[in-house]
């Protein structure tokens, strides 16, 4: 059985059964010209903020307009506990790879981190383009994974900004570090609040960065006997927490 394709629609909060919703613009173009949907076919809509709607295609107009008759609407509350990954900026397209797989895994928020040993640094227009790519990747991966709540991708933060945020917001914070003695698999976890995973760059977290994060309440943990690349460590660690917290139960 083929699952219904997912598209983003920004106005779902006040929609009820039987409503007619117009899908246009890039999403409508993808539905009509790429997926070639026809009248009577099933679709799923989401606003990316927790609301979803299922329905069927009622009409197709031109190459980029499609009307959906809504059958069911639902709202998913934010998952608890929430999981945020602070991701050091990888080089090349590995940043988008990290965002894609973390989104598929179920991460709730992603914070780009300008670590000292990052080869790539986001500045000016390049930084704005890179952030836009990460956000677009999270959106598309969220659709592919059939999520109704997409991960938030914040603007890039410095080490000082990450440390200040940790001290105020994190219920649990782990710095993934190959030299740590304690395994993340046995770390004591709170039942609620924000769980934060800090993933360093390929060159590793500097002693000063580690000191700043531990002073803010974070603890160094190792994942296992192997060293993962920065683009995969966050996904592996998030999957471990998904299992331990019951979010994958």
Quick check: 1 pLDDT over 60?
no
Q: How is domain 6-75 classified at the CATH fold level? A: Ribosomal Protein L25; Chain P (2.40.240)
The number of beta carbons lying within 10 Å of the beta carbon of residue 126 is 11
**CATH topology match: 6-75 vs 82-245:** no
Residue 154: which residues within 8 A CB-CB, separation 6 or more? 109, 110, 111, 112
pLDDT attached to residue 191: 86
pLDDT attached to residue 2: 65
Quick check: 119 pLDDT over 70?
yes
Q: How far is Cα 109 from Cα 117, in angstroms, rounded to an integer?
A: 23
Residue ranges covered by each domain of the chain: 6-75, 82-245
pLDDT digits (tens, 9 = 90+) for 160-218: 999 999 999 999 999 999 889 999 999 999 988 999 999 999 999 999 999 999 999 99
CATH number of 82-245: 3.40.1280.10
CB 130 within 8 A of CB 86: no
pLDDT digits (tens, 9 = 90+) for 134-160: 999 999 999 999 999 999 999 999 999
């Amino acid at each position: 059985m083929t699952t219904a394709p997912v598209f983003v629609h920004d106005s779902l909060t006040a929609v009820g059964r039987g409503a007619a919703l117009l899908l246009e613009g890039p999403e409508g173009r993808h539905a009509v010209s790429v997926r070639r949907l026809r009248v009577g076919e099933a679709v799923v809509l989401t606003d990316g903020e927790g609301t979803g709607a299922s329905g069927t295609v009622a009409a197709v107009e031109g190459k980029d307009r499609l009307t959906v008759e809504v059958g069911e609407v639902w709202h998913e509350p934010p998952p608890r506990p929430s999981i945020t990954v602070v991701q050091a900026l990888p080089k090349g397209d590995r940043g988008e790879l990290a965002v894609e797989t973390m989104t598929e895994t179920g991460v709730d928020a992603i914070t780009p981190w300008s670590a000292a040993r990052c080869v790539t640094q986001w500045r000016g227009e390049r930084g704005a383009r890179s952030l836009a790519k990460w956000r677009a990747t999270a959106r598309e991966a969220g659709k592919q994974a059939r999520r109704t709540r997409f991960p938030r991708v914040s603007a890039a933060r410095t080490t000082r900004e990450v440390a200040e945020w940790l001290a105020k917001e994190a219920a649990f914070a782990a710095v993934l570090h190959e030299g740590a003695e304690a395994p993340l698999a046995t770390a004591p976890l709170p039942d609620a609040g924000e769980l934060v995973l800090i993933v360093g760059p390929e060159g590793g977290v500097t002693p000063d960065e580690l000191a700043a994060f531990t002073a803010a309440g974070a603890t160094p943990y190792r994942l296992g006997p192997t060293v993962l690349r920065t683009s995969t460590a966050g996904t592996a660690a998030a999957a471990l927490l998904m299992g331990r917290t019951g979010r994958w139960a």
